[in-house]
A = this chain, B = another copy of it.
Amino acid sequence: MGRQGPAPLSGFPELLPGQRMVETQIIDGLRRAFELHGFAPIETRAVEPIERLTGGVELDKEIYAVSRWAEANDAAAEASLGLRFDLTVPFARYVLENAGKLDFPFRRYQIQKCWRGERPQAGRYREFTQADIDIVAKDQLAFHYDVEVATVMAQALTDLPVPSLRLQINNRKLLQGFLIGIGAADPPAALRVIDKLDKLSAGVVEQLLRTEAGLSDKQAEACLQLASIHAADTSFVDRVNSLGVNEQLLDEGLAELAAVLEGCAGIAGARVSVEADLRIARGLDYYTGTVFETRMTGHDALGSICSGGRYDSLASDGRVTYPGVGISLGVSRLLVPLFAEGGLQASRSVPSAVLVAMPLEESRPSCAGVAQALRRRGIATEVAPAPDKYGKQLRFAHRRGIPYVWFPPLEPGGGHEVKDIRSGSQIPADPDTWLPPEVDLNPHIVPKPNVSE
């Protein structure tokens, strides 16, 4: 095959079947974890009115507009629509639209594609899958839900066959309280600068805190001291207090962050660590308390692969407000780089555990009967495409990684046999009772952590 076919579109990754099997298993695992905690599934439509997408968020350039092809130049056409760029904005709209039919506090998960027309780069795609959990209430949302979404997502991440993850938590009240406490003139400007610590050196950030946020040398230094604090336990509270800043909002933020961290204590382990990291600020304006980010070991260039926080006033119809807290896993940002480097594979490229070999074209109905008997007991099975020589039929199975080839009897009354094509062992078997070992029943994920870590 030459490369005559269509070329891929940059920024729109597509997976091979084996990779997609890995992705579906991971998504099924996330769904199961979310449902075990009572999160109900929803989906929202791909499009939103443009003005809802652009409202207040600086992403205008990246929004994909949608219009009927025949009407693209027709000014009188339907209202302008755009593709969603995240799942939070559509969810807030869904809550407002369906408020009368939902029970609050309402907990939902949502796993769908999003689109951003940004320049493709490491970890950034124009089409990507997000997996979000959120809890929203009417008027007031209790703080313990901040703890809950963190623990639920941490637990879901624990089972992922990926390099180890570091969930970093902070609190906007803590940061703002600190900035107020040190007398910062423009706390939001200072927050935006602190958010750049990931990309810029401490020296540059300190300078920007002075030039862009109007801080004094001493204030800027205090900010950097605060931002340098991170801890896997609540020892960060004493370290912040030792900076000598007194402010009620700061104390509130410290208490909330400590509570989230304690709530996650039982979950952290070898795969997922949880820490308070006081440099985490999050770029988006709507966060009002807890904020989350997550790094994957060995993949710092990807940025945060799982982010979120508390938003007390995003969903409001002007009369009623629905405060929420949520966290969003970037499924594509997590998986596509691992696929690209070969760090994540399926044990075979098809669901089939068994290929039924076919002695003659006339035996197709009886071979189909064998396959049906196996499927009835949950064994994914396909029948060989043609009555080729058995060597060719075995190669058909081998190429796809199908572990077992079934040989029906060549004569009426003869016995069935099944071959494990990896070991070559071939044994008599009954299509109504034979079972493969559990590990071979379905394709499983073969992580190669040594490639990635």
Instruction: Confirm or deny: A381 has a beta carbon within 8 angstroms of a beta carbon on chain B.
Output: yes
Instruction: Confirm or deny: A21 has a beta carbon within 8 angstroms of a beta carbon on chain B.
Output: yes
Q: Are A42 and B67 in contact (CB-based, < 8 A)?
A: no
Q: Which of B14, B43, B349 contacts A45 (CB 8 A)?
A: B14
- Counting contact residues on chain A (CB < 8 A from B), the size range is 35 or more
Q: Are B317 and A4 in contact (CB-based, < 8 A)?
A: yes
Which residues of chain B have C-beta atoms less than 8 A from A37's C-beta? 375, 380-382
Instruction: Confirm or deny: A378 has a beta carbon within 8 angstroms of a beta carbon on chain B.
Output: yes
Q: Are A46 and B381 in contact (CB-based, < 8 A)?
A: no
Q: Which of B40, B96, B320 contacts A351 (CB 8 A)?
A: B40
Which residues of chain B have C-beta atoms less than 8 A from A107's C-beta? 350, 382
| Interface SS of chain A | mixed
Q: Are B94 and A14 in contact (CB-based, < 8 A)?
A: yes
Which residues of chain B have C-beta atoms less than 8 A from A382's C-beta? 37-38, 107
Instruction: Confirm or deny: A105 has a beta carbon within 8 angstroms of a beta carbon on chain B.
Output: yes
Q: Mark A33-64, 1 if CB is under 8 A from B, else 0.
A: 00111111111111101101010000011111
Complex: A277 Cα to B316 Cα, angstroms: 54
Q: Are A93 and B6 in contact (CB-based, < 8 A)?
A: yes
Using a CB–CB distance below 8 Å, which chain A residues touch chain B?
1, 4-9, 12-18, 20-21, 24, 31, 35-47, 49-50, 52, 54, 60-72, 81-83, 93-94, 96-103, 105, 107-108, 113, 115, 117, 127, 137, 142, 144, 317-320, 349-352, 364, 375, 378-382, 385-386, 396, 399-400
Q: How far is the CB of A325 from chain B (nearest CB, A)?
A: 13
Q: Are B6 and A364 in contact (CB-based, < 8 A)?
A: no
Which residues of chain B have C-beta atoms less than 8 A from A24's C-beta? 31, 41
**Centre residue among A61, A137, A351, A375 by max chain B CB count within 10 A:** A351
Complex: A42 Cα to B67 Cα, angstroms: 27
Q: Which of B8, B94, B380 contacts A35 (CB 8 A)?
A: B380
Which residues of chain B have C-beta atoms less than 8 A from A45's C-beta? 9, 12-14, 127
Complex: A72 Cα to B447 Cα, angstroms: 43
**Please, which residue of chain B has its CB at the minimum distance from the CB of A369?**
B266
**Centre residue among A1, A5, A364 by max chain B CB count within 10 A:** A5
Q: Are B98 and A38 in contact (CB-based, < 8 A)?
A: no
Given A65-B67, A65-B72, A350–B38 Cβ distance below 8 Å? Answer: yes
Complex: A369 Cα to B26 Cα, angstroms: 26
Q: Which 5 A-B pairs have the closest CB atoms?
A: A38-B382, A17-B40, A35-B351, A38-B352, A5-B96
Complex: A335 Cα to B21 Cα, angstroms: 26
**Please, which residue of chain B has its CB at the minimum distance from the CB of A115?**
B46
**Please, which residue of chain B has its CB at the minimum distance from the CB of A346?**
B40
Which residues of chain B have C-beta atoms less than 8 A from A4's C-beta? 317-319
Given A5-B317, A107-B382, A38–B97 Cβ distance below 8 Å? Answer: no
Q: Which of B17, B64, B103, B400 contacts A349 (CB 8 A)?
A: B103
Q: Are B65 and A68 in contact (CB-based, < 8 A)?
A: yes
Given A103-B400, A142-B385, A375-B37, A42–B17 Cβ distance below 8 Å? Answer: yes
Complex: A43 Cα to B320 Cα, angstroms: 39
**Please, which residue of chain B has its CB at the minimum distance from the CB of A78?**
B117
Complex: A386 Cα to B380 Cα, angstroms: 46
Complex: A99 Cα to B225 Cα, angstroms: 56
**Please, which residue of chain B has its CB at the minimum distance from the CB of A18?**
B40
Complex: A18 Cα to B98 Cα, angstroms: 13
Q: Are A97 and B6 in contact (CB-based, < 8 A)?
A: yes
